[in-house]
Amino acid sequence: MLTLVEKILFSIATLVSLYFTYRGVIRIVGQISSGQGRVDWRLFPKRISDVIVKAVFFKPVFRVRLIPSILHGLIGWGFFTYLLINISDVVYGYTGFKILYNTGLFGDIYRLLADIMGVAIMAGMLSLSFRRYVLRPASLTTRDTTLLNPKARKGILLDSAIVTTTFFTHNFMRLLEESFHLARLGHADGWQPFISAVSGLWVGKDAGSLLVAEHVAWWISIGAVVAFLPYFPYSKHIHLFFAPLNFGLKPERKSIGQLNYINLDDTSIEQFGAAKIKDLGWEQIMDSYACIQCFRCQDACPAYNTGKLLSPAALEINKRYHLKNGTTDLPMLDLISAEAVWACTSCGACVDICPVGNEPMRDILDIRRNLSMMESAFPKQLETAFKGMERNQNPWNVSQGDRMKWADGMSVPTIEQNAQPEILWWVGCAPATDSRAQKTAQAFAKILNTAGVNYAVLGKNESCTGDSARRAGREDIFFGLASQNVEILNSVGAGSPRPLRIVTTCPHCMHTIKNEYPAFGGNYEVIHHTQLINELVGAGKISMNLEGDNMKVTFHDPCYLGRHNKITDAPRDDLKSAGIEVVEMPRNGAKSFCCGAGGAQMWKEEENGTARVNATRFAEAKSTGADTVAVGCPFCMGMMTDASKADGGNIQVKDVAEIVAERLKI
């Protein structure tokens, strides 16, 4: 179709475009490679099915914002379809040969898809543009108080406009080009219904005019893509490539909250955490290129939802802005304020909801590592908890000698009394030392004793797992506690004929022992107490009186149970086994809203905002009409109890174990 001169001009333009595109890609590769750690390319083939489900079928996208997600799907799937269409159009331009008209049924079906998806792309783009530029929902931006580079804030709108204009033009002109072609041939194509309908507008036009129009439309359609390519590496739409890489190459983790191991016995380590962008891991730098700036992480963030300065989206966007400008030695606190860093509850909602696999929470915890370990710059309220963990192995600073007082008057065997238990119960600091959490421990002991479980506790040999220290950046405290605990647990396990099985009444303890301790040589089967209760019910070892008072209960999913470790059914099954009516809060399971205590928030004052996190969550529980809020975490217990008292105390807050113990048949 093209003349010789046109072919030469197009070839030159394409080569120039590809050269500048290559330079942009090499720049990105260099920046990602400058990050800490090394890529394990062997992971991608093992994850290929997961990559396809997430990157091709957009599974993570459809978890929230259904209508915009459908529109995004129309655009994305249309782009996949157009990969072959654009190749076909280039071949046609050079040879005059229409590949997809001469490949039988495959070509027919592909033309049908291309026709439908071309219109779908334009419809999706127009709809999303109307949403972004006319409706302007708050979910597509961030508050002015959030630290977001002003140029980046404006750049989001400009970038979206450039991309939308380019690809709307490409698809629209491609539709016209093909319609001119059909009109010139003098017939419609049943496999291209939309294009055929448009071609009917040109009936009666002379073939020469239609050929010129087809030439012009071809140049604009394909030319728009060629002209866009050098900009592509600078556009947020580079996520088309980096999202699949994110899914396929992220380091293997046992949970979204598992942090990388730091060997503090290695005296050569001089830098802890992330002071500058270049201190981040390569995958954390790649996150900024995978980010589509959809602000879904911000929507899910409990700190942002309660008026705090933290926006995980703003952090990723700021990273991307400065990386785009070639800056890797910029201080991280130029990208996010210290106040925002300390507002994070480490709930993992931002990681869980991200449709492209980004992990802004990990950046924040690495910044905390640097502030705490290198600068000693942490909220002063944390000092009491730190000293308690260092001196008495628990953040409450209670003497180790008092660690078994909660069990006074009860039959709770220690490991000295039962050296080879089937279950080792890791009681945890809160149930052992906090007066309210002790009731959970007492209830669970009652359940275990009633069921005749062969168990033991470590008693005075048990120490804090170090979760709060690690989330606050104090790797030194965590390292000491973890090393000590693993040594004790391994010694207990060594005397057992079977692998050590541990049950915890705290999701934070469960998460740490299960997911963090393997790096220290501690590999155990670790379950939550609601899981063990569920097992005991299923095995017929306990039964419950179902004729008690009717209770309407809503279960608050602890972040470290539901989101970090994907345990959501067991606690609900326990309640139902006890004859309880369970009503759900709007946000539940993996989408549960945080209580506000995680990430070491339990030991410090909450940052300023428009509301308290626990009060916000309690209001959601109250809206269900439940008379009791059930929890499965001592931190959640404390936060929900405080919120209930502030609200008048009309709604009870109880651990699942307490509710089950009250209904036990003994």
Segment 192-200 shows an average pLDDT of 95
In this predicted model, what pLDDT tens digit does every residue of 368-398 receive, in sequence order? Answer: 999 999 999 999 999 999 999 999 999 998 8
**HSE (CB half, 13 Å, CA atoms) of 409?**
2
Residue carrying structure tokens 């709307």: 168
β-pair partners for 664: 544
Task: Provide the pLDDT for residue 495.
Answer: 65
**What pLDDT is attached to residue 553?**
97
Cα four-point dihedral sign 312, 313, 314, 318: positive
Cβ contacts of residue 569 below 8 Å, gap of 6+? none
Residue 376 in tokens: 């000693």
The pLDDT, as a whole number, for residue 188 is: 87
DSSP for residue 251: P
Nearest Cα neighbor of 85 from 45, 36, 118, 61 is 118
Residue 460: both structure tokens together: 């005075």
- The reported pLDDT for the residue numbered 83 is 87
- pTM value is 0.93
Tokens 């983790």 sit on residue:
253
In the predicted structure, residue 323 carries a pLDDT above the cut 90: yes
> What is the per-residue pLDDT across 211-227, written as a single tens digit (0 to 9) for each?
999 999 999 999 999 99
CA distances from 415 to 301, 400, 448 (A): 41, 16, 15
Mean pLDDT of 261-290: 95
Edge-first strand order for the sheet with 652-655 is 581-582, 552-555, 628-631, 652-655
- Angle value at C-alpha 617, between 257 and 662, nearest 5 degrees: 90
| DSSP H or E run through 654 | strand 652-655
- Token pair 């191991």 is found at 261
CB 278 within 8 A of CB 35: yes
Asked if the model's pLDDT at residue 549 lies above 80, the reply is no
- Long-range CB contact pairs, 379-384, < 8 A, 24+: 379/342, 379/604, 379/605, 381/603, 381/604, 381/605, 382/472, 382/600, 382/603, 382/604, 384/603
Average pLDDT rounded to a whole number, residues 431-453: 95
Residue 497 pLDDT more than 80? no
The Cα–Cα gap between 23 and 609 comes to 44
Which residues have CB under 8 Å from 69's CB, separation 6+? 58, 61, 62
DSSP 652: E
Structure tokens at 468: 């709060």
Rounded to whole angstroms, the Cα distance separating 354 from 292 reads: 10
Check residue 548 and give its pLDDT. Answer: 66
Q: Are 173 and 214 in contact (CB under 8 A)?
A: no
pLDDT band at 326 (very low <50, low <70, confident <90, very high): confident
Q: Give CA–CA dist 126/506, Å, rounded.
A: 49
* Contact present, 324 and 333 (Cβ < 8 Å): no
Cβ neighbours of 203 (radius 10 Å): 8
- Band of the pLDDT at 551, cuts 50, 70, 90? confident
Rounded average pLDDT over 400-412: 93
DSSP line for 433-498: H-HHHHHHHHHHHHHHHHHT--EEE-GGG-----HHHHHTT-HHHHHHHHHHHHHHHHHHHHTSSS
Question: Which band of pLDDT confidence, cut at 50, 70 and 90, is reported for residue 293?
Answer: very high
For residues 130 and 164, the answer to whether their CB atoms sit within 8 Å is: no
Please give the Cα distance from 302 to 612 (Å, whole number): 9
- Average of pLDDT values for 311-321? 96
Residue 401 has pLDDT above 70, yes or no: yes
The per-residue pLDDT for 102 is: 79
- Nearest CA among 462, 555, 556, 472 for reference residue 509: 462
Distance CA 34, CA 54 (A): 27
346's tokens? 């480490």
Spatial CA neighbour of 240 closest among 124, 89, 78, 394: 78
Which of 90-94, 145-149, 415-419, 493-497 bottoms out in mean pLDDT, i.e. has the lowest? Answer: 493-497
Look at 55-69, 323-337, 491-505, 640-654 and tell me which has the smallest mean pLDDT. 491-505
Average pLDDT of the segment spanning 29-40: 94
Print the SS3 string covering 558-576: CHHHHHCCCCCHHHHHHHH
**Average pLDDT score over residue span 88-106:** 89
Residue 499: predicted pLDDT: 75
For range 541-563, the mean pLDDT = 91
CA angle 171, 177, 179 (to 5 degrees): 105
Banded model confidence at residue 256, pLDDT cuts 50, 70, 90: very high
8-19 mean pLDDT? 97
Check residue 424 and report its DSSP letter. E
Give the helix, strand, coil percentages of the chain, each rounded to 5.
60, 5, 35
Q: How many CB atoms lie within 10 A of CB 636?
A: 30
